[in-house]
Amino acid sequence: MAVKHFLNVTVMLGGPSAEREVSLRSGAAVAKALRSLGHQVVELDPKDGTFILPKENDVVFLALHGTFGEDGQVQGELEKLGVVYTGCGAEASRIAFDKVLTKRKCIDAGVPTARFAVVSSGQTPLPAGLALPLVAKPVRQGSSVGLQFVERAENWRSAIAEALKFDSEVLVEEKIVGRETTVGILDGAPLPVVEVRPKAGSYDYKNKYTSGATEYFCPADFDPATTRKIQVAARGAFRAIGGRDYGRVDVMVSATGDPVVLEVNTLPGMTETSLLPKAAAAAGLGYAELCQRMIDLALRRKENGKTKRETVSEHAA
């Protein structure tokens, strides 16, 4: 692809979260792709949650995942510095990283999501209003970290105790039995639906990052009407949290073909086998082109902002 001009890009990767290793892989793949396009790339690892940007920097490409990277912290710091960065803003990132806030935003927007409860103690009894089986996951973690399944009442306390190791609150949802999908969002538009099928068990951290443990189908084999419903639900969830530029929304599809949104990812994985690049490839966008598009969207926001400021100044004059 033709790149109009070469840039000084800082790829932020690694970081202090439980998803550090995946982030290092995402960032390395992004840096390689951007260098192949001719950009000057510096890889920056804020491993302790602090960083100093290079003097020559046109844009920061965020390849961080989890705490600090995906929860709005680094976005807020970059905004204070007046630095352009890829992906969602600080507030949308904060909301999406909190699964309970995300669900409430979805409910307010009429986006379908599973019935749920929030638990903060291992002594909390099984919620009377929810039907087994249940899914329990830390409110503020990603990549299926701490994910637990409660198939029987006797599993309840041990599952909650395990999930509470990763956060002070646990989201408990009714388990949706059906097909697991994910939908990439790029510049406001949904990409082709990806279906995720683990060969054994659930789509947990191990199956997510073990080569060959999960099969992926893109575009997923749904009829056009169901595909459309899945994409509409995903885009609705992304809009509900205030997302911009790009992201990925995980959606379960029930046996009746109804979509149920699980969560929104504002900085989805960017290894060359990650789900967002798979969806982009199915839409005809190669990996390097996708990385360039993400940068273009960030720079477009910068230009739009500059234009607005200049217009205000002209009126003031």
Walk along the chain (317 residues) and give the pLDDT tens digit of each residue.
Answer: 555 689 999 999 999 998 899 999 999 999 999 999 999 999 999 999 999 999 999 999 999 999 999 999 999 999 999 999 999 999 999 999 999 999 999 999 999 999 999 999 999 999 999 999 999 999 988 757 889 999 999 999 999 999 999 999 999 999 999 999 999 999 999 999 999 998 866 655 565 555 676 899 999 999 999 999 999 999 999 999 999 999 999 999 999 999 999 999 999 999 978 999 999 999 999 999 999 999 999 999 988 875 444 334 333 43
SS3 275: helix
pTM of the model: 0.89
What pLDDT score was predicted for residue 309? 40
Instruction: Determine if the peptide bond prior to 224 is cis (ω within 30°).
Output: no
- Domains observed in the chain: 8-87+285-316 (3.40.50.20), 95-110+177-266 (3.30.470.20), 116-174 (3.30.1490.20)
What pLDDT score was predicted for residue 211? 65
What pLDDT score was predicted for residue 315? 39
What pLDDT score was predicted for residue 198? 81
As annotated, the active-site residues are 19, 143, 209, 248, 250, 263, 265, 269
What pLDDT score was predicted for residue 183? 98
What pLDDT score was predicted for residue 187? 97
What pLDDT score was predicted for residue 180? 95
DSSP strands (E only) in 45-188: 59-62, 116-119, 134-138, 148-150, 170-174, 178-186
What pLDDT score was predicted for residue 199? 80
What pLDDT score was predicted for residue 18? 86
**Residue at 109: amino acid letter:** A
The dihedral of CA 304, 307, 311, 313: what is its sign? positive
52 φ/ψ angles, rounded to the nearest 5 degrees: -130, 120
* Cα distance between the two ends of the chain: 42
Alpha-carbon distance 201 to 179, whole Å?
Answer: 13
What pLDDT score was predicted for residue 316? 41
